[in-house]
Chains A and B, each alone.
Chain A
Amino acid sequence: QVQLVQSGPEVKKPGSSVKVSCKASGGTFSSAIIIWVRQAPGQGLEYMGRAVPLRGFVNYAQKFQGKVTMTADKFTSTAYMELSSLRSEDSAIYYCAKAHLGYCDGTGCYSDAFDIWGQGTRVTVSS
């Protein structure tokens, strides 16, 4: 059974960047879509964007365009999410999740629902 193992907690200064990793243990990213989701303290789930390692395809929610960079290495089965220009409002738990890639066409890539989740990485932004 594939598990997603995320990197450890981070404490960052405002204005800096953070890079969180998400590695598949017991499996690969060969046919997968990886999404990143964040959850601020006491708040709901916020969809940030997705990456398709097999295709080198990334797609960000409008709110995070220019703020986040998602990459994925299909050879090491590791995905990365880098968040820049950090502010206190970026303090949250960041999750990666994986779904089976269904297909890609001219309009994008489409998947099943997200059945495997990482354990979450807490990012704290504080001066």
Chain B
Amino acid sequence: DIQMTQSPSTLSASVGDRVTITCRASQSISIWLAWYQQKPGKAPNLLIYKASSLETGVPSRFSGSGSGTEFTLTITSLQPDDFATYYCQHYHGLGTFGQGTRVETK
């Protein structure tokens, strides 16, 4: 199985900060990478698919990049609603999630 490694596990930031989360795959997954946001008590919500495509309705401050084994999720100006946990997922075939990155208030 392909392993996905996210970093950092926790990130402390303030409103307005630029935030970057990294996800590494144990082997090449081309662009078959998604990013999800999850808030406590809620199901995950798709933000980015195919590594860099923004899901309909997701604010443009979210962006994704990368291919192969290295991927990043960037939030250009963190908003109060963005404090949550973020997961990457390889989804082409039998998929895997990263361990998650919790974005908390500094």
Contact = CB atoms under 8 A, between A and B. Distances in A.
Mutual binders A and B: yes
Interface of A: 35, 37, 44-47, 49-50, 59, 61-62, 95, 97, 99, 107-108, 110-115, 117-120
Given A113-B50, A113-B89, A47 B44 contact: no
Contacts of A115: 46, 49, 55
A49 B94 CA distance: 7
B96 interface: yes
Nearest to B101: A44
B49 A47 contact: no
B87 to A, nearest CB: 5
A62 B1 contact: yes
22 contacts: A37-B97, A44-B85, A44-B87, A44-B98, A44-B99, A45-B36, A45-B38, A45-B44, A45-B89, A47-B95, A59-B94, A61-B1, A61-B96, A95-B44, A108-B94, A113-B50, A113-B89, A114-B46, A115-B46, A115-B49, A117-B44, A119-B43
Given A113-B49, A115-B46, A119-B43, 12 more contacts: A44-B99, A44-B100, A45-B100, A46-B97, A47-B94, A47-B95, A59-B94, A97-B44, A110-B93, A114-B46, A118-B43, A120-B43
Interface residues of B, number: 24
**Chain B contact surface mostly:** loop
A115 B94 CA distance: 17
Interface of B: 1, 34, 36, 38, 43-46, 49-50, 55, 85, 87, 89, 91-100
B93 A95 contact: no
Contacts, number: 64
Contacts of A97: 43-44
Contacts of B93: 107-108, 110
Contacts of A112: 49, 91
Contacts of A47: 89, 94-97
Contacts of A110: 92-93
B97 A45 contact: yes
Contacts of B46: 113-115
Nearest to B6: A44
A62 B2 CA distance: 11
